[in-house]
């Protein structure tokens, strides 16, 4: 969110450049807003008093003065209450519709974080772009950030992120430009330029990043099974419980946002056991043990309360060096190479303090037998695992996941050639320790689609219309994309 000082400065500047005729008509609002700012910020003559500030703003709010609406929205957001957030959202939307570029940018922030409204990265993008087109350079930072992490329909693209960061005067735009130059995201790696953006003299080496002689080998392995983890075909073999049982050891890899480059390697152990025919797992990450309940659908484990602290590289003291990831689901796959069995996984997580998804996380583990525990862990193979990939469909994603029914879901996918497609949803209802599966419900009839990216919104009303809402607070669904008779599946969870 924007800082109070920035808002105050910009509001005062805008008031000063009103045309003389318009300024004459709003002379009282000019005075009232100035007084409201005095009581909002406080100075040697005014104690901070938000109630007095609100009283000065009231007549100007009645007149729908956009600058009064922005100041009042700022006051309401400071209260950090849901009802106040909703009021602030309405005020900023009104001011934004009146062509105020500050309000446009702030409204985009609310959409991006889901404050006072339903979270929508696409609506955030729309208002950031409008704000930029109306002269707000700070809004370019928001556009760059969406591309940096691949949020909503803004495809992850470092070059596009850098393009927008360079157009922005937001201080965090400089920070992310520094990060891009430091790691070589979309630009040649250059620590000197990075330090110029950071205003530091860093020569930082990530202690949890693998040694350079191992990075290329590990990244190659991860790339080989990456797509299989994100797109599951109907022919995929379900892993039996017996195959999972035992102790697995290896590495947890935190990837960059393009999911191509390893940024951190953390030792991890997972022990799968059975208790009265119920599969259980204990994770050990950074010497911290985690035993969490989960619901299993095929090869995916869905978690309710799985939180893990993972180190985070930060070049700014305000940005934490450790992030708490809420791990929501883990999709496992078993691969074999040279008689060695590997358990791989794609982990999805949320960073709740930022209200956004975590960076891609992957696992690469080998099972430890009693004898193997006595010897040194074998090195990784020098040749890549061979796994099935598809060139026809990619980036099949359903979000948010887990999702509250009130917000609905968005379905996106990329067709790499023209294909005949349809979309269906199949409910999975937990009954005790079993999962009851009902039939597929077609939500997008068969049609021929050209090459390109497609996005569909499935709202709460759509769930109810198709009889998919269900009465349970927790329920699972499979979203199935059929493209030229080949099915791609991804699993989602409904949460309260």
* CATH number (domain holding residue 420): 2.60.40
In a domain, 361, yes or no: yes
Buried b (16+ CB within 10 A) or exposed e, 44-54: eeeeeebebbb
Using the predicted structure, report yes or no on whether residue 281 has a pLDDT greater than 80. yes
Highest mean pLDDT among 175-184, 209-218, 450-459: 175-184
Tokens 């995916």 sit at which residue? 300
Q: Are residues 283 and 327 in the same domain?
A: yes
In a domain, 147, yes or no: no
Beta pairing, strands 403-404 & 486-495 = parallel
Whether residue 206 is contained in a domain is answered as no
Give the end of a domain, one of 374, 402, 417.
374
Q: Residue 218: pLDDT band by 50, 70, 90 thresholds?
A: low
Q: Between 421 and 387, name the one with better pLDDT.
A: 421
What's the CATH number where 250 sits? Answer: 2.40.160
- Please name every residue paired with 49 in a beta bridge, in sequence order, or none if there are none: none
> Same domain, yes or no, for 14 and 113?
yes
Residue 256: band (very low, low, confident or very high) from pLDDT cuts 50, 70, 90: very high
> Containing domain of residue 283, as a range?
212-374
Structure tokens at 373: 């525990």
For residues 254 and 351, state if they share a domain: yes
Residue 429 and residue 306 share a domain: no
DSSP 56-112: HHHHHHHTT-HHHHHHHHHHHHHT--HHHHHHHHHHHHHHHHTT-HHHHHHHHHHHH
Average of pLDDT values for 163-179? Answer: 95
Q: What is the pTM of this model?
A: 0.72
Report the pLDDT averaged over residues 164-176. Answer: 95
pLDDT value at residue 313? 84
Q: Is the pLDDT of residue 342 over 90?
A: no
The answer, yes or no, to whether residue 430 has pLDDT greater than 80, is no
Query: Which of 4-18, 267-281, 360-374, 441-455 has the weakest average pLDDT?
Result: 4-18
Q: State whether 241 and 269 are in the same domain.
A: yes
């Amino acid at each position: 969110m924007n800082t109070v000082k920035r808002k105050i400065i910009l509001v005062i500047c805008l008031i000063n450049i009103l045309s003389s005729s318009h300024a004459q008509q709003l002379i009282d609002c000019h005075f009232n807003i100035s007084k409201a700012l005095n009581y909002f910020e406080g100075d040697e003559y005014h104690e901070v008093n938000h109630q007095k500030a609100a009283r000065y703003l009231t007549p100007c709010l009645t007149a729908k003065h956009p600058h009064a609406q922005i100041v009042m929205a700022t006051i309401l957001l400071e209260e950090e209450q849901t009802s106040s957030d909703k009021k602030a959202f309405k005020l900023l939307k009104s001011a934004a519709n009146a062509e105020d570029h500050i309000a446009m940018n702030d409204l985009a922030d609310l959409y991006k974080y889901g404050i006072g409204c339903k979270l929508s990265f696409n609506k955030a993008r729309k208002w950031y772009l409008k704000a930029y087109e109306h002269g707000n350079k700070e809004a370019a930072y928001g556009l760059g950030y969406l591309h940096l992490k691949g949020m909503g329909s803004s495809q992850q693209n470092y070059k596009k992120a850098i393009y927008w960061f360079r157009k922005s005067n937001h201080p965090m735009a400089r920070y992310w430009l520094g990060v891009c130059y430091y790691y070589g995201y979309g630009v040649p790696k250059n620590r000197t330029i990075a330090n110029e953006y950071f205003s530091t003299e860093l020569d930082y080496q990530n202690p949890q990043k693998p040694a350079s002689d191992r990075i290329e080998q590990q990244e190659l392995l991860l790339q080989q099974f990456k797509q299989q983890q994100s797109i599951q075909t109907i022919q995929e073999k379900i892993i039996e419980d017996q195959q999972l049982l035992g102790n697995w050891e290896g590495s947890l890899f935190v990837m960059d946002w393009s999911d191509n480059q390893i940024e951190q390697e953390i030792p991890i152990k997972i022990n799968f056991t059975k208790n009265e025919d119920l599969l259980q797992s204990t994770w050990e990450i950074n010497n911290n043990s985690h035993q969490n309940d989960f619901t299993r659908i095929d090869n995916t484990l869905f978690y309710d309360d799985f939180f893990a602290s993972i180190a985070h590289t930060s070049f700014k003291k305000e940005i934490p060096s450790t992030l708490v990831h809420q791990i929501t689901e883990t999709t496992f796959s078993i691969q074999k190479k040279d008689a060695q069995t590997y358990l791989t996984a794609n982990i999805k997580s949320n960073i709740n303090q930022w209200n956004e998804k975590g960076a891609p996380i992957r696992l690469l583990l080998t099972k430890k037998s009693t004898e193997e525990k006595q010897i040194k862990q074998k090195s990784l193979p020098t040749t890549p695992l061979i796994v099935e990939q598809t060139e026809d469909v990619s980036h099949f994603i359903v979000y948010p996941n887990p999702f509250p029914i009130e917000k609905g879901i968005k379905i996106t996918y990329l067709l790499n050639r023209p294909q005949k497609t349809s979309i269906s949803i199949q409910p999975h209802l937990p009954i005790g320790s079993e999962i009851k599966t009902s039939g597929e419900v077609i939500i997008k009839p068969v049609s021929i689609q050209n090459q390109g990216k497609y996005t569909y919104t499935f709202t709460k009303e759509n769930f109810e219309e198709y009889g998919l809402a269900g009465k349970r607070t927790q329920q699972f669904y499979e979203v199935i994309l059929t493209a030229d008779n080949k099915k791609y599946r991804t699993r989602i969870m409904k949460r309260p």
